[in-house]
Amino acid sequence: MVPATATDLPRLKVQAKFFFEGDTKFYLQGVTYGPFRPSATDGPNLPSPERVAQDFGLMRELGINVVRVYHTPPRWFLDLAQNYRLRVMVTIPWHKRVLFIDDRKALSTIQQNVALAAQANAGHPSMLGFFIDNEIPPDLVRWYGVRRMEEFLNSLVRIVKKNDPTALAAYANFPPTEYLLPSEVDFYSYNVYLHRKKDLVNYLGRLQNLAGDKPLVLSEFGMDTIRHSEEEQAQLLTEHVTTVFESGLAGTFIFSWTDEWFTDGVDVTDWAFGIVTKERRPKLSYQALQPLFKNPERPLYHRLVPKTKLPMVSVVVCSYNGARTLRDCLNSLQKLHYPNYEIIFVDDGSKDDTQEIMRDFPRVRNIVQVNKGLSVARNVGIAAAKGSVVAFTDSDCMVDCDWLYFLVHALLSADFAAVGGPNISPPATDWIQATVGAAPGSPSHVLLTDTIAEHVPGCNMAYHKWVLEELGGFDPAYRKAGDDVDVCWRLMQLGYVIGFSPAAVVWHYRRFEVRTYFSQQLGYGEAEAMLRYKHLQYFGATGTAIWHGNVYTQARTDSFFSRPIIYHGIFGTGLFQCIYPKRYSPFAALLSSLEWLAVTLFIFFLSIPLAWLRLIPLIMFGLTLMVGLGYMAQARIEAKFDTIPARLLLLYLAIMQPWRRAWARYFTWLQGKRTPPAVIATKEQSPHLAVSWVAAGHLAFWSETGLERSHLLVTTEQMLEEEGWKFSLDTGWTNWDMHIFASRWWNLRLRSMTEIYPHGRRLTRVGNFMNVSTFSSLVIGLLLTFSLVTMLTRTSTSLYVLGVVSILALLWFIHGLRLRRRLSELVEVAAIRAGLQPLGQVKRSGRE
């Protein structure tokens, strides 16, 4: 084969989870090459140029586009690779596995080797980049500790970038040290030899989550054809390549190109991992891989999945005044590598130039409605959808060209009702946008396992249409945010499972300004308060969501207060030494909360007359500042915008974000759902027993025909709906059946049980418990504070203040008793409707 001159071979760049050649996605389809017996004339560890040219020709016929070598190659090797449009990834060899960090001479030698390797061919078009090392022994990493080793590897990356700025840098890791994740590498890479597909799929899902928003590459994988047949090798490598790309990796390196192999001063003759023999005869795996590797510029789904197996998808984009980024969004959607999809745009009453932009997109179905909120707009899109799968993204997002393929593949790969993917910030245009993009509070996915999600963000999710129809669509109450969380929780409550595809990437413009960022956080706080009305079991006392899974954000800062756990195996000999990230530290969450700030301010004001208290609020605020500093130090800001002003702004955002969000959450909750006074004041007209204030807390109902509490609960729910009460139902995670938002001051909770007696007779008991509202808690706290300050000042008005507070407390409690009595009357009417007989007051048998 005569090579074609390839002068137009640009350096690859990284964008989120993939590599790009210009604007075209580039999958690494690589092989390892050598090492070979050194030759005095042809350079270290390489065959002759004629043999290399023969190898490169066969590689191009196969579809290989990247070659991994284990020594720094001479210039002629790279020139030859350039002619064949091959890129070269160089593994920089270390010669000693000693305690090098403590050995200045060894440390200096390593650093010099890296610098010389980067300088040798700096800027060459065929040079892809460098593996700064390969498989550091796990006991050596364990000796120095993860942090110290990661920082050392980061220092080597900086040496590469200093000497060849556009070359990529990575570390070739392996399962015994999977937890070693240097932050400054361009992509993460692992040598993995797992021959069972199920094991490989599961492990790749794990590695994808460890890699976060960076590309993941397998740097070695293969099978020996001495211990296995060529047929087995061909089957395994075909399955491996398919699995790698279906799992959303950015590429793989087959180990190795040829059976010719020289290491540690000897020719290796008892292993044969090559896909060609020493004589360059292609094995069966060569022919098996060719259909998958050939024409790598073709879209991924063309090479892996027949078009007929992919269902039609309706992509729904809902927008209100989103013109600023709408054009980028629709342009990206029209470039999707998917054979059968439609785009539905729902304009929710925009007042900007959205409709002017839409004139440039005649292929997009354009639906315009008056402003009704995000959930209604999504439901309109669902109703208009022709596809059996409905996918959603937002007008401030740009999708990857294979986004839809990866969503659909994940959705169909298991018994999933829905699936989502990550959302990543695109390159910023200025330092403020870059800093805001790195700030906390961005839309995030929450994972229960490596492939099963508890929540996927609304800007990147897909559902079977029949699932959305069964749910009744999105709840119209959520006009700005929270709709996606509500749907995910409702799906899980019905027993459905939500999947996650780390390769289904969307680029999500966070916010361009600090003002709009805080506006977004206020909206999220309001949504959390609204979700709390409907899903009480998912929220703590302060109104913050309690997730059962791990929250994955662009800035992973949990290690500042809660470092992950690493399983090394007995005596550090585990084959897979796994990392187990802990959830975000509750201690850190407390120190950055609005409640902590309120207590800090309270003690500060107390310290004005009480000098001995003055140090305490300073210490408390200092702890809050530590949380902000921890976030500021660990969050990643784009390198060109990473300045001192940017870091200081990030500190400010990290401190203020939880306060702003909690402020909106509290005020929405305090002003929010409660039963109208007219409903409570209206007495039950149907016949029922007169319930005393004492008996209202514990009711009992008898049935001679086997009717149990389920009949009573259904009828009670119907009556609450008919009369206009505001309430929430148990979803399986609480010890109550119904939570009634009775008034601003009190909530009520019903809890029931049925006693079983002979001959089909049943006794159903109902507990009606008073529950202090958040508003009451706040007022009580303020009154107690005021009373305490008054007593400490020892003024003549102290007794009057205590008297007034006591009277108010009594009236408050009487109000709660009246509410409970009113609800008990409703429950008795419901019981009579259901066919149960009220028994009046019954002796209490349980404790609240």
DSSP string, 701-724: EEESS---HHHHHHHHHHHHHHHT
Residue type for position 166:
T
Dist CA 11 CA 167 (whole Å): 7
Q: Is 262 helix (H, G, I), strand (E, B) or coil?
A: strand
Residue with tokens 């791990």: 550
Q: What is the mean pLDDT of each run of 10 residues along the chain (848 residues)?
A: 58 92 91 84 76 94 94 93 95 79 87 93 94 91 90 95 96 92 94 91 89 92 93 94 90 93 80 93 94 72 64 94 92 92 94 93 94 93 95 93 92 92 84 87 82 90 95 89 90 92 87 85 86 79 73 51 64 66 67 87 85 89 90 83 92 92 82 82 78 84 91 93 87 82 90 91 93 82 75 67 82 92 91 87 39
Dist CA 395 CA 694 (whole Å): 57
The backbone torsions φ and ψ at residue 192, rounded to the nearest 5 degrees and listed phi first, read -130, 125
**CA atoms within 13 Å, Cβ hemisphere of 423:** 25
CB neighbour burial string for 52-84, b if at least 16 within 10 angstroms, e if fewer: bbebbebbbebbbbbbbbbbbbbeebbebbbbb
Residue 847 has which token pair? 């404790």
Q: For the chain, percent helix, then strand, then coil, each to nearest 5?
A: 45, 20, 40
How many CB atoms are located within 10 Å of the residue 642 CB? 16
pLDDT at 202: 87
Contact criterion met (CB below 8 Å) for 382 and 390: yes
